[in-house]
Structure 1
Amino acid sequence: MIPGEILPDELLDRIRGRAAGYDQNNSFFHEDLEELAAAGYLKIFVPGSDGGLGLGLEAAAALQRRLATAAPATALAVNMHLVWTGVAHVLAARGDDSLDFVLKESGQGEVFAFGISEPGNDSMLFDSGTTAEPQRDGGYSFTGRKIFTSLSPAWTRLGIFGKDSGARDGSGELVFGFLQRDAPGHETLNDWDTLGMRGSQSNTTLLHGAMVPPERIFRKLPVGPNQDPLIFAIFACFETLLAAVYTGIGERAFTLAVEAAKRRTSAKYGGRSLSQDPDIRWKIADAAMAMDSIQPQLASVARDVDALVDHGAQWFPKFVGLKVRATENARTMVDVAIRVSGGSSYFRGSELERLYRDVLAGIFHPSNDESAHTTVANAWLGPLES
């Protein structure tokens, strides 16, 4: 699979040409989404039998890297659809067909979004402040607040979870399901006015007793960390595809840095190109080495997921380590590009100015720096003694 065959240069150029406008107007990328859908991009993980491309995580990560070089906010938001379809793909490859309907419906044009994050919930997938109330028919009503709901204007299926506090003898149970757009009891706030990633329109979603029927409830898990395949699949797809987006941002920044170094001249060096300045050359070389280190790590982790490699307890350290390294690496690359490009990049409307704002969002995505280091330390040293 060659990324350019699915995302040809002509399509990528059109997407890049709209990115600044979406950012300036704080508007959703409707045109990008329409073109990507027409190209089959939303069906990357959907098997050919359901009308998709039948690709795996390694191929999806390569495509997301490429898309992010043109429009980071578009790539980040599309990630959320790809996370759910990727989770369904990863589960199916391991003999779990509980989310096969996600692949089938994606093949029919449905758009999935990720409604998991909640304000103040640093337990993420292992607890929830949203209430899941069981209904007589086996469905649930959900009441709570979900933040960073990317694809807010476009989703037709929203993956959510909440806690049924009375289940499991009062210890509580986490209930996962998919909410349909036409179901009552949910509200999208128009509150996405942020520093960067503006086109993603990751608005807050309020759930006011939103009903999810029994056939859309796909998992019930105990509160707290567990080894359920769903948790593995979400971490695998979320962290890997997130790393891909930020790696793409770093790659674009590097390209702009090289172009600037060749274009700009220096009076100190008699009008010669800045590419002849030893300090600039050192910065470019340092950035190139950083980029060369993250690309194989990203490909390796994604390839191992596709190949069903069993890393055991080291899987989660690999996922969170990849995410942290990719996002921090991208911030470094953008910073280098700005230093090489000079004061013009400080002006509103330059591509590097936008990348500088967009790349900061990587700080806030789970797993954050603190939780990632805890995960890795626990894997190698064991948990802290009580």
Structure 2
Amino acid sequence: MTDLVDTPRTAHVVTGDEEALAVAAELAGQFAGGAAERDARRVLPVAELAELSLSGLLGITVPREHGGADVRTATLAEVVRLLAAADPNIAQIPQSHFVYVNVLRQQGSAAQRDFFFAEVLAGRRFGNAQSEAGTRHVQDYRTRLRPAEDGGFVLDGVKHYSTGALFADWITVLAKDPADRLVVAYVPAGAPGLTVVDDWDGMGQRTTASGTVRLEGVRVPAGRVVPHHLTFTGPQLHGAHAQLLHAAIDVGIARAALTEAAEFVRTRSRPWFESGAGHAADDPLTIQRFGELEVSVRAAEALLAEAGRAVDRARERLDDETAAAASIAVATAKAFADPAAVEVSGALFEVSGTRSALDSLNLHRHWRNARTHTLHDPVRWKIQHIGRYALNRTLPPRHGLI
């Protein structure tokens, strides 16, 4: 394992929603400047993640009774969107961090919450070891947690697409227990038998280090295992919460692509000779296309904000109906954001002209990032759930991917 963990011993503690948004906006301004170069050279954002930890943003969903800001879900989505507009790689790395803080909120014991929430407020990072390759489908887990003689457990398995694991202080491992029930094991980075391999070579999201995690006889105390299967026995917002953050990343990519396209057209593009315009930004057909793209991005941003509010409403009064409404709102936001991000990042070249395709400019990173990240789960299934709900009031399924 390459040791890239440089987590500060202490971090600032954000106190509320307004401060969280202000801190995110400030960090986004810092991160944006080096995003293109980091992508082009595949420079992992080690220093930037240290800044993220120090800022206190990783602790904004910790409950107030444990010293956190417990920000609204809509605020969290906007924080992720702001970071994604600056660098979607940095925004994706802590996506699982927030998801597994939420798992502790829902199913962690009192002792687990006390310990891990203190870790999070100190700036410690969670990274995921969730997906597996070569299985029947995305929720077919072969990683197993077997009992050990000391009353704890032993983990064995191989995980792929493990975003954030290379930078993590704690790696969250999805596994099946001896009763074939889904659990999450919280494993410290550097544990004997744990290997994190930096082998992610995707065309986009290049610096997320979404590589392989190998677990060979990793010892896990019983107090570090959370019964995640209980999450899905009643109304829940686990999937809506996780998917909202993925949608926020896509919306951020779309906004970043359109912003950079506008700057390029204003400063570097030439007008088409038939337009009669003296500047590319005065070409009426280019103006028309920017108007269409701006409408698309604003619609994606509005749907994201409404989805966040829907999750917050369900948090206040959780039942089957409110959970379903939240899941459908999030599915709608993601079903719109995914194609919007791909379209806008592709249209960047359409409106900017031939020079925008130069590899040295690395404008294609927006499309590569959008196309790669939107492969996370198919929006066609979200459309199915939305349609069944709209037509027959069929509630969406209780799993983590709606």
Q: CA deviation at 1:351?
A: 4.5
* Structure 1 match to 2:188: 180
Kindly state the Cα deviation for residue 104 of structure 1 after the two structures are TM-superposed: 2.4
Structure 2 CA distance for partners of 1:159 and 1:206, relative to 1, 3 Å = same
Aligned partner (choices 149, 155, 165) of residue 168 of structure 2? 155
CA contact (8 A) 1:239 1:322 kept: no
Please say if 1:239 is aligned against 2:256.
no
Mapped partners of 2:204, 2:215: distance in 1: 26
For residue 252 of structure 1, what is the aligned residue in structure 2? 256
Is 1:131 the equivalent of 2:111? no
Matched residue SS, 1:149: coil
User: Share of identical aligned residues, percent?
Assistant: 25
CA positional deviation for 1:270: 3.8
Query: d(CA) in 1 for partners of 2:174 and 2:21?
Result: 36
Quick check: 2:131–2:159 contact (8 Å CA) kept in 1?
yes
Q: Is the 8 A contact 1:189 1:205 kept in 2?
A: yes
Instruction: Rate the CA distance shift 1:348–1:97 in 2: closer, same or farther, 3 A.
Output: farther
- Cα contact 2:310–2:329 (8 A) shared by 1: no
Q: 2:23 matched to 1:41?
A: no
Equivalent in the alignment of 2:119:
105
Compared CA separation, residues 349 and 68, structure 1 to 2 (3 A): farther
Q: Which amino acid aligns with 2:194?
A: H
**Contact 1:58-1:306 within 8 A present in 2 as well:** yes
User: TM (normalized to structure 1)?
Assistant: 0.85
Match of 1:245, SS state, is helix
Residue 324 of structure 1 deviates from its aligned partner by 2.8
How far residue 51 of structure 1 moved from its aligned partner, in angstroms, is 5.1
Equivalent AA in structure 2 for residue 205 of structure 1: V
Greater Cα offset, 326-335 or 19-28: 19-28
| Residues 43/220 of structure 1: CA separation in 2 closer, same or farther (3 Å cut) | closer
Q: Could you tell me which of 81, 89, 100 is aligned with 1:84? A: 100
Partner of 2:379: 369
Aligned-pair CA distance for 1:137: 4.3
Instruction: Report Cα offsets for 1:1-58 as digits up to 9, x if no partner.
Output: 166621344x433312222232223232011111122221222212456554432221
Query: How far apart are 1:364 and its partner, in Å?
Result: 2.0
Cα distance change on mapping 1:351 and 1:69 into 2, 3 Å: farther
**RMSD, matched Cα:** 2.8
For residue 211 of structure 1, report the CA deviation from its aligned partner: 2.2
Equivalent position SS for 1:117: coil
1:337 corresponds, among 324, 343, 348, to 348
8 Å Cα contact 1:129/1:163 also seen in 2:
yes
Q: Would the aligned equivalents of 2:155 and 2:218 in 1 still touch at CA under 8 Å?
A: yes
Structure 2 residue aligned with 1:303: 309
Alignment of 1:59 with 2:75, yes or no, is yes
Query: Equivalents in 1 of 2:138, 2:234: separation in Å?
Result: 15
Q: Which residue of 1 aligns with 2:291?
A: 285
Deviating 4+ runs (over 6 angstroms): none
Query: Secondary structure at the residue paired with 1:34?
Result: helix
How many corresponding residue pairs?
368
Is contact 2:112-2:224 (8 Å) kept? no
Query: What is aligned with 2:209?
Result: 201
Look up the SS of the partner of 1:209 in the other structure.
strand
Deviations 1:120-162 (A, max 9, x none): 446545x412122123444332221111111232201111122
Which letter does structure 1 place at the counterpart of 2:338? T
Q: CA deviation at 1:377?
A: 4.7
How far apart, CA to CA, are the structure 2 residues paired with 1:185 and 1:19? Answer: 34
Q: How far, CA to CA, are the matches of 2:373 and 2:102 in structure 1? A: 21
Residue segments in structure 1 that go unaligned for 5+ positions in a row: none
1:4-43 aligned at under 5 Å gives the runs 5-9=22-26, 11-43=27-59
What is the rounded CA distance, in whole Å, between the counterparts of 2:151 and 2:360 in structure 1? Answer: 52
8 Å Cα contact 1:147/1:203 also seen in 2: yes
Q: What SS is found at the alignment partner of 1:221? A: helix
Supply the AA of the counterpart residue of 2:74. Answer: E
Contact 2:306 2:329 in 1 (8 A): no
Q: 2:63 and 2:362 mapped to 1: Cα distance?
A: 36
Q: For structure 2, list consecutive stretches of 5 or more residues without a partner in the other structure.
A: 1-17, 396-402
Distance between the aligned counterparts of 2:104 and 2:228, measured in 1?
A: 16
Q: Which residue of 2 aligns with 1:347?
A: 358
* CA separation of 1:47 and 1:294: change in aligned 2, threshold 3 A: same
TM-score (structure 2 length as normaliser): 0.82
In the alignment, residue 179 of structure 1 is paired with which amino acid? Answer: V
Cα distance, 1:334 vs. partner?
0.9
